[in-house]
Amino acid sequence: MKIITGQAGFQPEYDMRSICPLEEMLLFDIETTGLKKETTQVYLIGCAWYEDGNWVLRQYLTENAGDEYDILREFTAFADKFRVLVHFNGDGFDIPYLRYKCDYYGIESSFSSHESFDIYRKAKRARRLLGLSSMSQKSIEQFLGIERDDRYSGGLLIPVYYEYEKTGGEEAKNLLLLHNHDDLQGMLKIMPILSYTKLLEGAFLFVSAGEEENEAVFRYRTEQQLPVAFEQRLKEDLLLSGSGRDFYIRRKMKRGSAKLPLPNVSDYYYLPEEDRVIHKDVAQFLDRSRRVKANSKNCFIRKEGRFLPEIHSESVAAYYFGEDRKTVYADWEELYGMLEQKDGRAQEILTCMAKDILDLVSCL
């Protein structure tokens, strides 16, 4: 078994303390001779931790299959010093694999008691927002413009490990270590992808609203810097974009005659000839032939204007168009007037609107 330790020489451009105190986290990644834990072996375990202002990398490398027990024992003993394990898809592969191997060898480990932070599971929520087809570590690195020296995949390195096991060659060893090193350093480098996840989780504040070419434009300030600008049209009338600390929602307004349902239908009469309702106190003075009791379908008032879809709040009137009552609209002039008057309810409405939209995006 070989143990190689050195500094990462890199500081992540993301506030890692939003996960936990730096001294309490351990990043790790494993390399195996296959996916089936019952018939393969782990031959390399790499980890990284924060110490004295720097990130330190350590790699445990087997020289033959007999070293598997040794690297598992050494790594698990070291990992027990930390509270949170940080990894990329470790919940799906690395942790179950190591847990199985420890059970097989009778090694006591605390993998079940550690807190787990899976970068992949967190980051994949932003796939639709960013328009990415894959959220693999290399795909995220490409999106963020991160270059790596290693050109191999884990699968391609399996025969390289067998060559190293047989010959002990330096070139093979260096290829194995480089891939694992770049995976570990890559984890630190891709952490800014979580800025988009934080956005989806509601880490933003409403800043302003305006209009451009019949579109309402809402600006928000994000908690974390967005490392790469993005623009994504989710619907014909809905565009999301972000750059730096700014996040924008652009919504096309619907022009036309909207309907505002009236409460207490029994208090109204409908006038078929005029296609409108009047209160029963006034209707009593009209000829009975001109009026019928109102019902839920015709008990509304009409309003011409511009309206924003999918605004749900008791603070503004809820309009609809035609017979479709699933999509609720707000009167843009009413809402914008509240903003100009610095009515705090308007900011709450638009913050809730953004969270609703982002919740939908993260589920796609």
3-state DSSP call for residue 40? coil
- Give the pLDDT confidence of 270-303 residue by residue, as tens digits: 999 998 999 999 999 999 899 999 998 999 999 9
Predicted confidence (pLDDT) at residue 110 exceeds the cutoff of 80: no
Residues 122, 120: Cα–Cα separation, whole Å: 5
* Mean pLDDT in residue range 24-37: 96
Q: What is the pLDDT, as a whole number, of residue 151?
A: 77
The H-or-E segment that residue 7 falls in is strand 2-7
Bridge partners (DSSP) of residue 324 are: 321
Classify the C-alpha dihedral 78-80-82-85 as positive or negative: positive
Radius of gyration of the chain (CA): 30
In contact, 308 and 333? CB cutoff 8 Å: no
DSSP-derived secondary structure for 45-76: EEEEEEETTEEEEEEEE-SSGGGHHHHHHHHH
Over residues 296-330, the pLDDT tens digits come to 899 999 999 999 998 889 999 999 998 888 899 99
Please, where are the H alpha helices in 106-217?
119-123, 127-130, 137-144, 158-167, 170-190, 194-200
Bridge partners of 32? 42
* Mean pLDDT, rounded, of the chain: 93
CA distances 312 to 63, 173, 226, 308, 355, Å, are: 63, 60, 28, 11, 12
pLDDT > 90? residue 112: no
Section 93-110 average pLDDT: 93
pLDDT tier for residue 188 given thresholds of 50, 70 and 90 = very high
pLDDT, tens digit, for every residue of 202-231? 999 999 999 998 899 999 999 999 999 999
Query: Smallest Cα–Cα separation from 130: which of 2, 227, 54?
Result: 227
How confident is the model at residue 231, as a pLDDT? 96
Which of the four pLDDT bands, split at 50, 70 and 90, describes residue 149?
A: confident
**Are the C-beta atoms of 29 and 180 separated by less than 8 Å?**
yes
Q: Give yes or no for residue 53 having a pLDDT over 80.
A: yes
Judged against a pLDDT cut of 80, whether residue 52 lies above it is answered with yes
Bridge partners for 232 per DSSP: 240
CA-to-CA distance for 177 and 195, rounded, in angstroms?
A: 29
| Dist. CA 169–CA 167, nearest whole Å | 5
Q: What is the pLDDT of residue 40?
A: 96
Q: How many CB atoms sit inside 10 A of residue 210's CB?
A: 11
The reported pLDDT for the residue numbered 281 is 94
Q: What is the pLDDT of residue 223?
A: 93
| Residue ranges of domains in the chain, CATH in brackets | 2-196 (3.30.420.10), 203-262+299-364 (no CATH)
Q: Coil, strand, or helix at residue 202? A: coil
Looking at the DSSP bridge assignments, the partners of residue 305 are 256
Q: How far is CA 81 from the centre of its chain?
A: 30
Tokens 């989806």 appear where?
A: 200
Burial 49-67 (b: 16+ CB within 10 A, else e): bbeeeebebbbbbbeeeeb
27, amino acid identity: L
Measured between alpha carbons, how far is 49 from 51 in angstroms, rounded to an integer?
A: 6
Q: Please determine, for residue 364, whether its predicted confidence score (pLDDT) is greater than 80.
A: no
pTM, entire model: 0.87
